[in-house]
């Protein structure tokens, strides 16, 4: 358990509880669900520079779309998409870079290129190798609760169909297992961040419930990241396309902060920086 304190990501210190931190999403995946997929290094650099100017604290670079039902790309393709961007960004921005991948070779090359954090959307369900890599390189690792391995997705309707007696019991159980695996692999508690996995194997109503009950995850004693930006829970409530969900995202971010979120992973950095500052002024001491 890491109840409070500081986590160093690259050259930056993240002081938990002081304020909410912003993770800007750089999608090097043209097939991204959110409609902001990037296919060239130059466009990615331009977006990253804008995010840095707008107040992002960390940039998350991913090469594979997490759209449900989409086939995974090869390691070589993912490497081709993300490594050149990371190498360039190290020369262009001061804020740290996270790599969004569950593939060992991609993660290893990304760290060698200068990434300062691993974002594993499978929460070590595919083995401890990523945690061992994080431990060896002394970088933080983000562990997400992902239920898509349970077949909780209907390809015909494009919706998650998970059925749990209590979704929070499921989420907390998987996070505890992920944390235990990371600790066993040598990752210090101060380098572990958890993510309840909004939109990953849960129905949209379960996603809303997770946001309402986020304090139960807070009891685990680790910093919490939430990723609600432009996701289907907003679509189901507001009936808006991905590019028109900024207000819905803002509401989920504000409620998330009120219930204990420490980092928010977002597409719309400028707007969410303002939301975070206002929410922090209300809920943080």
- Where do the domains of the chain lie? 6-283
**Does 212 participate in catalysis according to the annotation?**
no
**CA neighbor of 196 nearest in space, from 160, 165, 225:** 225
The pLDDT, as a whole number, for residue 34 is 46
Residues 185-199 pLDDT 10s: 999 999 999 999 999
Topology (CATH level 3) of domain 6-283: TIM Barrel (3.20.20)
Q: 3-state DSSP helix/strand/coil percent for the chain, to nearest 5? A: 45, 15, 40
What residues have CB less than 8 Å from 43, skipping those under 6 apart?
none
Mean pLDDT of 102-109: 95
CB 146 within 8 A of CB 196: no
The pLDDT, as a whole number, for residue 54 is 97
* Cα gap 33→157, rounded to integer Å: 15
Q: Which of 103, 148, 230, 231 is catalytic?
A: 231
Q: Which of 150, 265, 277, 284 is catalytic?
A: 265
**Does 284 participate in catalysis according to the annotation?**
no
Residues 34-87 pLDDT 10s: 456 677 889 899 999 999 999 999 999 998 765 555 567 788 889 999 999 999
Residues 128-174 pLDDT 10s: 999 999 999 999 999 999 988 765 555 555 555 667 889 999 999 99
Tokens of 127: 């083995």
The pLDDT, as a whole number, for residue 6 is 95
Q: Classify residue 37 as exposed, middle or buried by CB count within 10 Å of its CB (0-12, 13-18, 19+).
A: middle
Residues 197-253 pLDDT 10s: 999 988 899 999 999 999 999 999 999 999 999 999 999 999 999 999 999 999 999
Contacts 24+ apart (CB under 8 A), 203-209: 203/159, 203/160, 203/161, 203/162, 204/159, 204/160, 204/232, 204/233, 204/235, 204/236, 204/237, 206/160, 206/162, 206/164, 206/167, 207/231, 207/232, 207/233, 208/233, 208/237, 209/167, 209/168
């Amino acid at each position: 358990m890491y109840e409070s304190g500081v986590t160093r990501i690259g050259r930056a210190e993240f002081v938990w509880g002081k304020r909410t931190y912003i993770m800007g999403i750089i999608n090097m995946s043209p097939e991204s669900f959110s409609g902001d997929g990037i296919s060239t290094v130059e466009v990615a650099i331009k977006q990253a520079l804008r995010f840095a100017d707008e107040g992002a604290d960390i940039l998350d670079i991913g090469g594979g779309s997490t759209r449900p039902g989409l086939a995974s790309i090869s390691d070589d393709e993912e490497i081709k998409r993300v490594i050149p961007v990371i190498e360039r960004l190290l020369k262009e921005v001061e804020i740290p870079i996270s790599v969004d991948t569950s593939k060992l070779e991609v993660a290893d090359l990304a760290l060698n290129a200068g990434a300062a954090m691993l974002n594993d959307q499978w929460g070590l369900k595919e083995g401890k190798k990523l945690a061992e890599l994080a431990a060896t390189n002394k970088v933080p690792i983000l562990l997400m609760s992902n239920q898509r391995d349970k077949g909780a997705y209907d390809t015909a309707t494009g919706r998650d169909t998970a059925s749990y007696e209590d979704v929070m019991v499921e989420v907390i159980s998987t996070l505890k297992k992920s944390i235990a695996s990371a600790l066993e692999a040598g990752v210090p508690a101060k380098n572990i961040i958890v993510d309840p996995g909004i939109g990953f194997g849960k129905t949209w109503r379960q996603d809303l419930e997770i946001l309402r009950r986020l304090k139960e995850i807070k009891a685990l004693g680790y910093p919490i990241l939430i990723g609600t930006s432009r996701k289907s829970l907003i679509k189901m409530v507001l009936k808006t396309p991905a590019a028109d969900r900024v207000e819905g995202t803002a509401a989920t971010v504000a409620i998330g902060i009120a219930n204990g979120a420490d980092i928010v992973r977002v597409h719309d950095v400028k707007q969410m920086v303002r939301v975070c500052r206002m929410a922090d002024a209300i809920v943080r001491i």
